[in-house]
Amino acid sequence: MTRADMFMKPENGLLDVEPESRVVTLPTWTNDAIGLKTVLDEHAIVAVTDPRGRITYANEKFCAISGYSREELIGQDYRIINSDHCPKSFFPDLWNTIKQGNPWHGEIKNRDNEGSFYCVATTIVPFLDGHGKPRYFVIIGDDITEQKRLEIRLAEKLRLQQLLAELSAQLVAFPSGQVDGAIREAQHLIVETLGLDRSTLWQVEGDRPGFTLTHYWQRAEWPPLPPHFYAQDKLPWACEKIARGEFICFANIDDLPPEAARDAACFRQYGPKSNLTIPLLADGKVFGALAFALLAKERTWQPDEIADLKLVAQIIGNVVGRQRAENRVEQLGAEMAHAARSTVLGEFTAALAHDLNQPLAATLSNAQAALRFIESGTADPGEIQAILHDIVRDCKRAGGVIHHLRVMLNHAPVDRESCSLNELVREVAEFVNEEMRGQEIELGLALAPALPSVQAASVEVQQVLVNLLINAAQAMKNTSRELRQIRIETHHGEGRATVRIRDHGCGISPERLNSIFNPFYTTKQSGLGMGLAICRRIIEAHGGHIKAENHPDGGAFFSFSLPALSGPEAE
């Protein structure tokens, strides 16, 4: 047996090196072979292989780190601990180097008996025969697993810090419309940076308790999550914890407490093996949660990493919070617009009922009168004809009311023409005269001669006049007979034509003067409170003003004015 052969014998160890077979100058103390072997075995992972790479010696450290016994290792080649983590060309290159008699230095990622990885800074020295062929290889290594892990963690941390800076710069400037895409992209970046599998964003929706999944990014190999996943029923423990503003962190589902049994079952169904969930807050209130998960492996979440991810959550939370606030404003706006539309619709319906009431009542009483005449057999054809004319006029009025309300509802411009306020007053006075006479009310007109024309929808202005006259008549219910007078005046000045209606009724208490024009304001038992609201809407739509006052001598005093067209109207 040569000295080299002795070296190859596991029980002898490394130190019987044949000096001439390899250019290795050993110091004199190396003659103490056992001493040097002890030092090396103490310090390093040591192995020897034959020229074909089969392990012929493995020291204690090698056995310990690989998790195999010496018996299991001897006779195997290095593939027993190959992690498949090195690039394809790695081992051929290594092999070429040492086969040519050159030493090789490098880091190798191996896998132990239980499948865990470990890293070794390795030196392989070939020992050659007289023909320069390797007779055996000595492999010496240092365990650098922890150092590598720290390096990876440090690089991860650095990347996370960079990501944080980028995210805060990017997301702050994002217009709300593009925020959804930006959030998913941010989740994608975090998952990639930290080597995770999935990030999910959950939000409170409306008054519903619990959280709904709104955004997520995960690696393509995992089945998609249900859309709008509502977490309250499936993850009650987690929802409650997050709602209290606490974060959830577990390296393995098995670490969850017994009260989270339902949650654990859900986690098992949808993937997360290890998870970190951070609550999102706005104005001190939890409105959502940002979660990170590994779906196949457990993972310990380091405290500094959690701190960084809390910052990420804060940045994303700010953006989501801003988007929620904007959505809320938009929703409120829509609600208000809807409420306003409903009110307007309600007002129109009420206005329709109000304005149709009068001509319909008149039509009914005229038709009843005609019937009575005919049934009594004393019908005078002239009188019947007059009644029928009235009915036709009232029906036309009712048709006009409906037409104008429809036009207003459609926001279409109402046809306006140059018209004489004096003329409109005369027509209305004639129209209501009979009604007034029935109530023993005297109607007086004082119309200004050279009153300028106004640009108006005559049916609408007549509607105003009718409403004001009916109110005046109703206000005089308790007025003594000699004072039951309504006076309509017109006059002009300052570019306006004005109509005033004065009655001798109950007047309006000063605190009500402002409210009487509001829709649905009424002091009458059967009133709708729409008459004056309609008057104001019509007059203001014509660019005019309407106001109510009390006359110093008693009674109310309503006036409205419209912009005058240049030149006096033809009287």
Ligand X SMILES: Nc1ncnc2c1ncn2[C@@H]1O[C@H](COP(=O)(O)OP(=O)(O)OP(=O)(O)O)[C@@H](O)[C@H]1O
**From candidates 147, 342, 418, 523, binder to ligand X by CB under 6 A:** 523
Nearer to Mg ion, 65 or 528 (CB): 528
What is the DSSP code string of 482-531? GG-EEEEEEEEETTEEEEEEE--S----GGGTTTTTSTT---STT--S-H
Q: Which residues lie near Mg ion (CB under 5 A)? A: 471, 531
Question: Coil, helix or strand for 154?
Answer: helix
432 binds ligand X (CB under 6 A): no
Q: What minimum distance in Å lies between the beta carbon of 535 and ligand X?
A: 8
Residue 530 binding partner per list Mg ion, ligand X, none, with a CB distance cut-off of 5 to 8 Å that depends on partner kind: ligand X
Two structure tokens written together for 433? 């005269």
Q: What minimum distance in Å lies between the beta carbon of 504 and Mg ion?
A: 17
344-363 binders of ligand X (CB under 6 A): 354
CB of 561 closer than 8 Å to CB of 498: yes
Q: What minimum distance in Å lies between the beta carbon of 517 and ligand X?
A: 7
524 binds ligand X (CB under 6 A): yes
Cβ neighbors of 473 (< 8 A, separation 6 or more) are: 435, 436, 439, 441, 486, 503
The residue range among 128-136, 287-295, 337-345, 470-478 that interacts with ligand X, by the rule CB under 6 A, is 470-478
The residue range among 196-204, 267-275, 430-438, 469-477 that interacts with ligand X, by the rule CB under 6 A, is 469-477
484 binds ligand X (CB under 6 A): no
The residue range among 35-43, 80-88, 338-346, 503-511 that interacts with ligand X, by the rule CB under 6 A, is 503-511
In the chain, the N- to C-terminal Cα span, in Å, equals 145
CB of 352 closer than 8 Å to CB of 402: yes
Give residue number: closest CB to ligand X. 531
Cβ neighbors of 12 (< 8 A, separation 6 or more) are: 6
What is the 3-class SS of 284-318, one letter each residue?
CEEEEEEEEEECCCCCCCCHHHHHHHHHHHHHHHH
CB of 421 closer than 8 Å to CB of 458: no
**From candidates 531, 544, 546, 564, binder to ligand X by CB under 6 A:** 531
**From candidates 187, 200, 471, 479, binder to ligand X by CB under 6 A:** 471
In whole angstroms, what is the distance from residue 179 CA to residue 188 CA? 14
Question: Coil, helix or strand for 478?
Answer: coil
Q: What minimum distance in Å lies between the beta carbon of 336 and ligand X?
A: 25
Beta strands in 37-148 (DSSP E): 45-49, 55-58, 104-111, 117-128, 134-143
The burial class, CB within 10 Å (0-12 / 13-18 / 19+), for 366 is: buried
Q: What minimum distance in Å lies between the beta carbon of 478 and Mg ion?
A: 17
Nearer to ligand X, 123 or 559 (CB): 559
Residue 354 binding partner per list ligand X, Mg ion, none, with a CB distance cut-off of 5 to 8 Å that depends on partner kind: ligand X
Nearer to ligand X, 83 or 550 (CB): 550
516 binds ligand X (CB under 6 A): yes
In whole angstroms, what is the distance from residue 391 CA to residue 382 CA? 14
Q: Which helix (H) or strand (E) holds 427?
A: helix 421-438
In whole angstroms, what is the distance from residue 253 CA to residue 260 CA? 10
Q: What minimum distance in Å lies between the beta carbon of 233 and Mg ion?
A: 57
Q: What minimum distance in Å lies between the beta carbon of 363 and Mg ion?
A: 19
In whole angstroms, what is the distance from residue 55 CA to residue 313 CA? 51
The residue range among 143-151, 205-213, 383-391, 465-473 that interacts with ligand X, by the rule CB under 6 A, is 465-473
556 binds ligand X (CB under 6 A): yes
How many residues are there in the chain? 571
Residues in contact with ligand X, counted by CB under 6 A, come to a total of 23
Q: What minimum distance in Å lies between the beta carbon of 470 and ligand X?
A: 7
Residue 475 binding partner per list Mg ion, ligand X, none, with a CB distance cut-off of 5 to 8 Å that depends on partner kind: ligand X
**From candidates 36, 503, 536, 544, binder to ligand X by CB under 6 A:** 503
Question: Across the chain, how many H-helices and E-strands are there?
Answer: 15, 17
Residues forming the site for ligand X (CB under 6 A): 354, 467, 471-472, 475, 503, 505-508, 516, 521-524, 527-533, 556
